[in-house]
Structures are given as structure tokens and as C-alpha cells.
Amino acid sequence: MHIRLFHKTNSRSQRILWLLEELKLDYELVFCDNNPSDQSLDQIRHPHRLAKFPTVQICENEGSDVITLAETAAIADYLSYLFNELGIAKLSHQEIQHFYYWKNFAEATLMPDLALKQIFAAIVARTPWAIRFVSQCLKLGFDHGYLNHTLNQHLQMMDQHLKHHRYVAGQQFTIADLLLWFPLLACTQSNPAFESLAHIQRYLLQIQSRPAFQRALEKGQWSASTFQSYWSKAW
């Protein structure tokens, strides 16, 4: 089997790189950053028509068709199914319920609300200086009227859940934990108010101490300072 991952540093595709390391798979890593030390985007023919990151190409056998798959959750689900790992196989009935809830919560609830913070921050930054106060007022109103309260609710709920669970599904590490890591880290590193959530902090330290996670950081050229700087601007 040959797997190729199209990856951007410090992006959500880091989670799929981590998953490949957890599954101990051989893969080809294609960097898609405008970085002089790597390939230029102009030299890369992206296999997905929307140029999504992450995207994987999978060729199961020599001569077989190449599968092209985008969307982080879809890739995680497919690889988990393909190798029967980090999914529901070893979970109890109650843990399966937690698994499906938190796996979908990561991409359907937490990440979209967090992305809105970044979108409004980008709008402010790109508004001409003379009228920037208009977009700043819009961002301030949306933050205080909806986003700040909602994100705080999300994290308080997660912190209470993790008070009684080692991982989000229960006792087993699953792709639900892997998917939650990116938006959860973005929240906790960009807003000092979330540093007091002890159960989330314990949980992040626990999943980030996994050997596969550490290998993925190095291979993916992850920069903690760049990540924190990027997301802190959203607040």
C-alpha cells in the first residue's frame, strides 16, 4: 500500500500525519507550503479539485486505482476502518456513544465556531485603516454577543466531561481525541482564560506525550510559537 499525504505546516492536516504515525504506516509526505526549503506550490499538482489540506492518495495494491480523499474527519474514519484501529472496535456501548458525539463535535461545532473568530480577525486586518473601526465594531459585537460565550460553554462542557474520562470516549485513545486536539489547542493557547481548565490541560498533556504525536510534530515541521501567534490574533 502506498499513501501520500498533502500537508501544510501548522494546519489541520497535522492530525492526519499524527494518525499515520499512530497506525505505524509508511507514507510519502508532500509539503504544500511556499517554503524555500520545500516544494513550491507552483510545482505541486494537487490531486483534489478544491485543493484541500489534508488530502491523501491511497493505492492499496500495485496496478489498482488510486483513492483520493479529503476532509480530515473522512480520512480519519477511512483509515481507522481500513486498519481496524483507533475506532469503536474495543469500546463499550456507552463509550461508543461518547466516541460518535465528540468525534463529530470536533469538526461540526468546535472548529466552525473557532474558525469564525479567525475569519472576523482577518476581515479586520484587511479592512482599510480609515474605515477599520467598522469591521472592529462588527467583530466586537459578534464576539461578545455570541462567539466568546459559546466557545466558553464548549470548553467548560469538555472540561467537565474529562473530569471523569481519561480520553473523550473513555479509557481508549481514539480518532475522536485526535480530531479534537487541533481546535482544543487553538482555544487554550490563544485565550489565557482557558488555562484554568485543569482537566483539559491534563488531557492535552496526556495525548501530546504519545510517541506518535511527537514523531508527527517533527516530521510535519510544527511550530508551536507560529501556531499560538496565529490563533491569538483571533481574540
Q: What is the pLDDT of residues 36-45, one digit of tens each?
A: 344 444 445 6
β-pairing, 2-7 with 28-31? parallel
Mean pLDDT across 209-223: 97
Question: Tell me, what's the pLDDT at 41?
Answer: 44
In this prediction, residue 37 carries a pLDDT of 45
Residue with cell 488510486: 66
pLDDT value for 23: 97
> Cα separation of 94 and 205, whole Å?
25
Buried b (16+ CB within 10 A) or exposed e, 76-104: bbebbeeeebbbbeebeeebbebbeebbe
Amino acid symbol at 21:
E
Q: How confident is the model at residue 51 (pLDDT cuts 50, 70, 90)?
A: low
Q: Write the pLDDT tens digit of every residue in 113-170.
A: 999 999 999 999 999 999 999 999 999 999 999 999 999 999 999 999 999 999 999 9
State pLDDT tens for residues 155-176: 999 999 999 999 999 999 999 9
What are the extents of the domains in the chain? 2-83, 93-220
What CA dihedral angle connects 158, 234, 109 and 77, to 10 degrees? Answer: -90
Q: What is the mean pLDDT of residues 14-33?
A: 95
pLDDT for res 190: 84
Quote the pTM value. Answer: 0.90
User: Do the first three CATH levels of 2-83 and 93-220 match, i.e. the same topology?
Assistant: no
Q: Tell me: pLDDT of 108 over 80.
A: yes
In sequence order, what are the beta bridge partners of 66?
59
Q: How far is CA 61 from CA 2, 50, 90, in A?
A: 8, 26, 28
Q: Which of 137, 157, 146 is nearest to 117 (CA)?
A: 146
Average pLDDT over residues 85-108: 95
CATH 3.40.50.300 for domain 2-83 = no
- Average pLDDT value over all residues in the chain: 91
pLDDT band at 192 (very low <50, low <70, confident <90, very high): confident
Topology at the third CATH level for domain 93-220: Glutathione S-transferase Yfyf (Class Pi); Chain A, domain 2 (1.20.1050)
Tens-digit pLDDT profile for residues 53-92 = 899 999 887 777 888 999 999 999 999 999 999 999 989 9
- Residue 102 in contact with residue 169, Cβ under 8 Å? yes
